[in-house]
Amino acid sequence: MTDIIKNAQLVPAQEFRRMDADGDGTVDRNDFLRAPHRLMAELGIPEESDKGKALLAANENQWQFLLTLGDADGDGSLSEEEYVAARTSPAFRSKDRPGKGEVCRTLFALLDRDDDGSLDRDEFLRAADFLHMSAEEAGAYFTELDADGSGRLDSKEFLKAVKRFYTS
């Protein structure tokens, strides 16, 4: 694995700090949903479109699940400690978790602009901010993932890539 990929892999605490948009030491619903809203705006995808609704619903479901797991003080937001506890909990990591992979599947569908069932490099790079990667990290990651040199990632490769990025 390249150094840039190793450096890009996020532990939940780093992910938390990247999501805490206003720097108040908590992640609330607005912080959590900032990335999908911004991605859709950048791509010109209406939030009311089927793909937009699906991505927002998947992220909302994940946010609610994280709150259920981690909001120990019941304030509707997550401190860094609460977020890390929720993201590293066995319930969140469980293969049987409700909605497991839903955000990735809806993100893939949104990025697949030509609906051909795969992402080219440009389509993948559009996800960099959403995935809390720099464009450089995303480019290097795409190159590594595209082992066959086809210039494309199918949905299984994309799901595997996201999982590896966040759990390796």
CATH number at residue 28: 1.10.238.10
Number of domains in the chain: 1
- Alpha-carbon distance of 126 to 148, in angstroms, equals 21
User: Looking at the DSSP assignment, which residues form a beta bridge with residue 154?
Assistant: 118
Domain residue limits at 86: 3-167
- Alpha-carbon distance of 108 to 89, in angstroms, equals 25
Q: Give the pair of three-digit tokens for residue 101.
A: 């992979």
- Alpha-carbon distance of 36 to 161, in angstroms, equals 19
Torsion on CA atoms 52, 54, 59, 63, rounded to nearest 10: 130
Tens-level pLDDT at each residue, the chain (168 residues): 555 444 444 578 888 998 998 899 999 999 999 989 998 998 899 999 999 999 999 999 999 999 999 999 999 999 999 999 999 899 988 888 877 889 889 999 999 989 999 999 999 888 887 777 788 888 888 888 887 889 999 888 888 777 776 654
- Alpha-carbon distance of 51 to 154, in angstroms, equals 18
pTM exceeding 0.75:
yes
Neighbours of 110 (CB within 10 A): 23
